[in-house]
Chain A
Amino acid sequence: MAALAAVCSDLGRKKLAYFIKPALCLRDPKTHAVLWRSCSQYTQVASNEDLLLSQFISPFTGCIYGRHITGLCGKKQKEITKAIKRAQIMGFMPVTYKDPAYLKDPKVCNIKYRE
């Protein structure tokens, strides 16, 4: 993850806030790195990163996962919920389902689906 941060820093300060989090989410399944879920991983959540925010909603109903599933602390859960609602109202993220392009994301939450 440190290597990815170095790559993203070239893109400039403004883009850093937007691209570094998708980089953390997407590249990890190839290396099978353990995605440690700590709140310090998500420093600032902006509302146009639907890639990051889509990981916390259900792919079937689009409902936001609760604290017992995401494992986030109080502050971050609130921030992510607010960002998801904002993104849905602003037209960045669908409400009733998860964007099909993001269905193959690595699992961040503790949920198990029936196959």
Chain B
Amino acid sequence: MGKDAARAEWDNPMQFVLACVSYAVGLGNVWRFPYLCQMHGGGGFLIPYLLMLVLLGVPLFYMELAIGQKMRLGSIGAWRAISPYLGGVGLASVVTSMYLCLYYNVINAWSFWYLFHSFQSVLPWAECPVNSNLTGHVEECERATPTQYFFYRETLDISGSIEENGGIHMGQALCLLLAWMIVYLFIVKGVKSTGKVVYFTATFPYLVLIIYLIRGVTLHGAINGVKYMFTPKMEQLANPTTWINAATQIFFSLGLGFGSLIAFASYNQYNNNFEKQAIVVSMVNSSTSIFASIVTFSIYGFKATFNYESCLERVRLLLLNTFDLAEDTISLENVNHWIAELNRTHPEQFASLGGRLETCDLEAELDTAVEGTGLAFIVYSEAIKNMPVSQLWSVLYFIMLLLLGMGSMLGNVIAVITPLSDLKFISRYMSTKTLNGLVCLFCLLLGLGFTTRSGNYWFTMFNDYGATFSLLFIVLIEVITVCYIYGIKRFEKDVEDMLGHRLNWYWKIMLAGVSPILLITLFIFYIVNYIQGGTPTYQAWNKELGKSVVTEYPPYAQAFIGLLLASSVCCIPLTALYTYCKKRNLASGKRERTVSTVSA
């Protein structure tokens, strides 16, 4: 309790709320939620999503804030205070956050790369570069699209598989250095500097989203995308994967289990009303997801319509050139009518067209659902290059991505630094500034591994396996610890002490009953899915074909995946064992001493 006087605090509760919003509203809201919405029946997906928010998201968010604010320590100290045997939960959170820190900033490095390349008269991903003897375009670019070529070749310089390593891409390394320097700048003075930065990182993305919404819905063909997204396909609700994905999305979007929320809340005043804030932040996060998906889908619709009309134009030209008709006989509207007509009147000549005649389908263009880095850096930049004044939209878009990513990075880094700075043996020897600098330097050096030629494959591995399974396990243990080991009654008393009123029946039922059951179901589903999935695979970029191919991970990579999963999960039982042994040694040591004094 004596640490209260020394601990830094947020200047006002608003900074805390904005920090939580900035952390929770991240890249997942922009690139994962729209994809899930599209995959699981459009408007109908909102039903499981909002239900899971109420049943799982808000109670767990509330619980983490309560723990942080009560214990006023980072995750390691807080969990050790709750239950000495389960201090490993905090350690597991720190390990998982460390993995996240390592690879997440690479996304910010890519955003910087794209941002800096937007300051050119022609966007570099708009056209294929010419080859060395100026006769045509680079073949890899011809087979793929210019945006894919720019991402895979010029940004990543990706190799053919995870086994083929290469040198470090200097541009990427520089951008990663910049990203880590900015993170350091934001956290160098602890919550004092972070508190001021979150005013900007939490609010500016909304400004850009609104500008993009206005631009997006006024684009030609945007309405196709929005209609496609919101048309509910209710039969998807019967699919259990829909519910599982909704729960997982809520879970990861709120950033539960990393220890960031505990760290943020530990800098609160003791009587801060976190109950209202928990509800507010969760609602803001979910509505941002829905808002961002409207923007994403209007841009999707624009891109799909553009590609569809380009396809029609190519078919029209092909027909005109093959049958030597005058230019104004075929227009974009009656292309399909003419195809049928020409097939009827000139069947042999039509047959000679063979495979060159493409079928243009707007639905198929809209169906190409993409998520993750593919959506953000390939699909979006393809849409942007076709907008008028594309440099401006590109700069705005990547600044938004940067702010979203930086806001989440702040939470990740604070989740690692707060518990470390609480440990006595570290804080005795170095100041917070030095500790922050060392953590940033360490993550930068390890993160350089992701800037090598095969770095993107390792990035995907970390992204898919580094945090998903361990987090589920961590949060499950958290809920069970708080409700059953620490006791829901003691928790109630602590909350009453802080807030002044007792726990509502809603919180009690959710925390003690519904959330643990849902978490156990999610956990079992993950394990079953993983086992059933067979050998883990990844998408490798094949430069001859100009597309990604599904490849299996080599054995050492699979072992590394296992190591990733085990390293954070094992912290919990190992720490419990260690504490048990230490307590036993202490107890037996005391007994020996008492025996010796008696005998003496």
A and B bound? no
Q: Which residues of A contact B (CB under 8 A)?
A: none
Q: Which residues of B contact A (CB under 8 A)?
A: none
